[in-house]
Structure 1
Amino acid sequence: MELNSIKPAAGATRERRRIGRGIGSGFGKTGGRGHKGQKSRSGGYHKVGFEGGQMPLQRRLPKRGFKSQTLKFNAEVTLSALERLGADEVDVLALKKAGLVDELARVVKVIKSGEITRAVKLSGIAATAGAKAAIEAAGGSVA
């Protein structure tokens, strides 16, 4: 077998339809375009979303919402999740290994949800004011 002898499987390809080649072809005269009108003419068509001059749907509806592409790099961890983790020193890598934050996460913040009783040292992780107070009350620190 040579590269120049490779062909598609039998029945995989069809001959192209030859438009405008006489009555017997079934696509003669008007060439499958019907009679008259914009769509029958060469070069005659309209832009996507055009509704004949009526205000198009995408302009009738209000503009709404925005989804930031940087949000996927941010992550949150709760105090109760830190309690369950059971580590004394916690950084972003440890949270990724434990599966508490996504692999894409770059910025991690601890939020005050739940309780913490063990002393945890956070490094490279931010914390809300309430979470920081709870961690320090338990004997931990936020670096």
Structure 2
Amino acid sequence: MANAENNAGGTPLRIHHLRPAPGANKSKVRKGRGEASKGKTSGRGTKGTKSRTNVPLGFEGGQVPLQRRLPKLKGFSNAMFKTTYQVVNLDRLGELFPDGGDVNVETLVERGAVRKNQPVKILGTGDISVALNVQAHAFSASAKEKIAAAGGAVTEL
């Protein structure tokens, strides 16, 4: 307790002497409790819809509301269940695997071509001159042809 001295008064610091800093605790404004402070109309002005109990949800003061300004969307969308592939082109495979060999999703992730946990599709842009044994979730027709022509193999996962 020797170090628990209050520098201002030289008296020991006591829990019952602690007070909030001046201006730290403001009392909330109690609207509609007398004329002196936000009384009578409680800051709402006089008369009209906005001065009364509640304004309907979405009411914009007579302006055509947002839900009526936007068009009706018709039809059905299955976009939520669409499969999106990470694409890798053949020329990129040629850069990543110049000596040929086995190519799968794990090796593509290790070399920074794709991210984990998403399907991979191989596209046929560019040419390859080495034999690659490629395993991926999907292939374009031109990619299959070019890989086979270079002496490689294609395996769909």
TM-score, normalised via structure 2 length:
0.68
Verify the 8 A CA contact 1:76 1:108 in the aligned structure 2.
yes
Counterpart-to-counterpart distance in 2, 1:132 and 1:12: 72
Equivalent residue runs for 1:60-71 within 5 Å: 60-62=69-71, 63=73, 68-70=79-81
In the alignment, structure 1 residue 56 sits paired with structure 2 residue 60: no
Aligned match for 2:147, one of 130, 135, 138:
135
Equivalent residue runs for 1:11-50 within 5 Å: 14-25=26-37, 27-42=38-53, 44-48=54-58, 50=59
Greater Cα radius of gyration, structure 1 or 2: 2
- Cα deviation for residue 109 of structure 1 reads 1.0
Greater helix proportion: 1
- Counterparts in 2 of 1:32 and 1:51: CA distance versus 1, 3 Å: closer
**Equivalent AA in structure 2 for residue 129 of structure 1:** A
Structure 1, unpaired ranges of 5+: 1-8
Alignment RMSD (CA, Å): 2.8
Verify the 8 A CA contact 2:121 2:136 in the aligned structure 1.
no
- Counterparts in 2 of 1:70 and 1:46: CA distance versus 1, 3 Å: same
Counterpart-to-counterpart distance in 1, 2:24 and 2:110: 49
The one-character-per-residue Cα deviations of 1:63-121 (angstroms, maximum 9, x if unpaired) are: 49x7944557521111111111115111111112222112331x211011111111110
Verify the 8 A CA contact 1:92 1:108 in the aligned structure 2.
yes
TM-score, normalised via structure 1 length:
0.74
**Equivalent AA in structure 1 for residue 40 of structure 2:** K
- Counterparts in 2 of 1:51 and 1:76: CA distance versus 1, 3 Å: same
Q: What secondary structure is seen at the aligned counterpart in 1 of 2:36?
A: helix
